[in-house]
Chains A and B, each alone.
Chain A
Amino acid sequence: MGVDRNSGFTALAWFWIVSLVAAPLLYVIAISFMTRGAYGGVEAVFNLENYRRMSDPQMGATLVSSLGRSILLAGLSTILCMLIGFPLALFLVFRAGRFRSVLFFLLIIPFWTNFLIRTYAWMIILSDNGWLNHMLEKIGFQPQSLHLLFTPQAVLIGMVYNYLPYMAMSLYVSVEKLDTKLLEAGADLGAGPVKRFFQITLPLCFPGLIAGSIMVFIPALGEFVIPDILGGGTSLYVGNLLAQQFLTVRNWPFGSALSVVLILFIGLCLWVFEKVTKGQTEDLLA
């Protein structure tokens, strides 16, 4: 049939895949087995040194703590996004009425603005002499300024702010598809709103929840800009560690090895997410 046999497209497709997706990654994996040159180049001396170094007590501890910190941040961000996003989605679908599309529209505007600018705005707000403290002073609230800027809390706020729209939109799509008749049936059978939520809404929205979580958790793991700008550079997250290895320390082989570890870890997370989704769907169908 016509287009199907058009090898031109397939060739083009494979060209992209090989040259821009596969090759860079394969090259990174290859470098991870090489050695750093005297002043920071890459020398083709192959060994497992970079990986062995990760099991070094000191390096290993560094790696584990920065990875742990990233997981914690990504996890907390995801949970907070869920806690804010779900009620928001529910409100939009069930309570907003004719304002629904306007509110949805308002939700995505922040998403469309430049992410550096959004983060910068939070610097102004959270600074010791910034907007938040200024306002609190006016109300007469705080005798001492809130130290928010350059703390992990500031980073968390920045993260949630940036990732909330992804979660909210994903949940919105899920909630919108809900068959209200099921909820009505539940009500008729005597279930209260809380029970209806946990036994009907939540399970049915689970795919949306997982999709939203993937969209937040995975990118958040590699995030280094928000911690850098709002966190003051006092804590190294995995992203910072990687960037540092490539740009400051100039140890590309070791940095590549770290990248490989991060990629594998993300692969693991995705696999877990997939398993969980399948499990849930099977339960529903049973």
Chain B
Amino acid sequence: MKKILTFLVLFVVAGLWAFSKYRAARIEIQSDAPKKTLHLFAMSDYFPAKVIKDFEVKNNCQVRYDNFSNNEELLAKLQAGAEGYDVIVPSDYIVRALIASKLVMELDKSKLSNYKNLANDFVEVPYDPGSKYSVPYTWGTTGLIYNTKFVKTPIESWNALFQKEYAGHISLLDDEREVLGAMLHKLGYSNNSVKKKELEEAQKLLIKLKPSIRLFASDPKQHVLSGDIWIAQIYSGDAQILMRSNPELKYVTPKEGGTVWIDTMAIPLKAHNIELAHAFINYILEAQVNKEITEELGYSSPNKAAESLISEEVLRPSHLKKIQVGHLEFLKDLGVHSEMWDQLWTEAKTK
């Protein structure tokens, strides 16, 4: 009897396995030739399905899209020796660390014919002098999204987080740079501060705020939509998507300061399909593709060739000039000071 049971179980398992392999293969391109696979490593839902599909068809390949939850995890996995990722999507300040740790390779610009599509503001960037290792993918800001159904007065400042009536309905990003950075801004300091005194002040502020924080989430979309969270620290692209589905939501970058950032594409040193990786980056730089990405994700584009195709003004590359005045800062690599930041963040989270 046990034998029959074992066989049954094996049969079911084998069936499941065969089924999933078959279905997966059917959905992908049918071809007899051995296909190359591009391994993409980025945050979840950061590339529209259609864009990936079109690339697969155009280049007769498969794209495997693995996820990481934050930049530090990307760095950790690469440092741990994860190899085989062909294209990674790190944020600006992490590119510095990647270059210093020799984890990314110099891009072969001769393979990137569409590089000229980039707007001037994005060609020379501080975190990657000469833009040797990275190509801008999207850019955006970090600010607050709030639900006017529950938040009656418009929000302009980080002070809103400290108001009693919103306690328990606030979420912050699960990111030490963004959260401590916000506190530093509220205190009037730079979000790249490495002064111990300023950082400790920011930490104290965070600890004071903590009881009101319901949740640390880097993607609070579902919680904002469900009504659990009334005010959330959020990335501009996510905010755009939320506002499209619920017009009662508003996005603001607080007047004391916020973050402006650029997410980039890079190729790890240990990539397997370097040709294909370059082809992918070049493909993303195409005007039409960039337009699709921008409009679906809600993040702003760095691509000047796509500018005329993009309908929403807030998503156009030239929007950077409009908002960069004064209060928004880029995040910079902290180098050896990151340990101090880590310590303060860990302590604050444990209290």
Contacts and interface: CB of A to CB of B under 8 A. Distances in A.
Interface of A: 36, 38-41, 58-59, 61-62, 65-66, 127-130, 147, 149-150, 232-236, 240-241, 244, 246-251
A107 B8 CA distance: 23
B343 A58 contact: yes
A247 B342 CA distance: 12
Contacts of B336: 38
A129 B224 CA distance: 11
Interface in B70-97: 70, 72-73, 75-76, 79, 97
Shortest beta-carbon contacts, A-B, top 5: A232-B215, A233-B216, A249-B342, A236-B350, A128-B228
B248 interface: no
Contact of A150 (B176, B215, B346): B215
B167 to A, nearest CB: 10
24 contacts: A38-B336, A40-B79, A41-B101, A59-B347, A65-B351, A127-B228, A129-B226, A130-B226, A150-B214, A150-B215, A232-B171, A233-B174, A233-B216, A234-B214, A236-B346, A244-B346, A246-B76, A247-B72, A248-B342, A250-B75, A250-B76, A250-B79, A251-B339, A251-B342
B227 A249 contact: no
B76 A39 contact: no
Given A129-B226, A247-B76, A249-B72, A232 B346 contact: no
B100 A39 contact: yes
A128 B216 CA distance: 16
Nearest to B102: A39
Interface of B: 70, 72-73, 75-76, 79, 97, 100-101, 168, 171, 174, 176, 210, 213-217, 226-228, 335-336, 339, 342-343, 346-347, 349-351
Contact of B347 (A38, A62, A247): A62
Contacts of A240: 349
Contacts of A130: 226
Given A59-B343, A250-B79, A127 B72 contact: no
B227 A128 contact: yes
A128 B75 CA distance: 35
A241 B346 contact: yes
Nearest to A128: B228
A244 B174 CA distance: 11
A216 to B, nearest CB: 24
A10 B301 CA distance: 62
Contacts of B210: 234
A246 B339 CA distance: 13
Nearest to B344: A58
A249 B346 contact: yes
B278 to A, nearest CB: 26
A128 B335 CA distance: 41
A88 B143 CA distance: 51
Nearest to B215: A232
Contacts of A127: 226, 228
B76 A248 contact: yes
Given A62-B346, A129-B226, A147-B168, A233 B76 contact: no
B219 to A, nearest CB: 12
Contact of A235 (B101, B168, B350): B350
A29 to B, nearest CB: 19
Given A62-B347, A66-B350, A234 B216 contact: yes
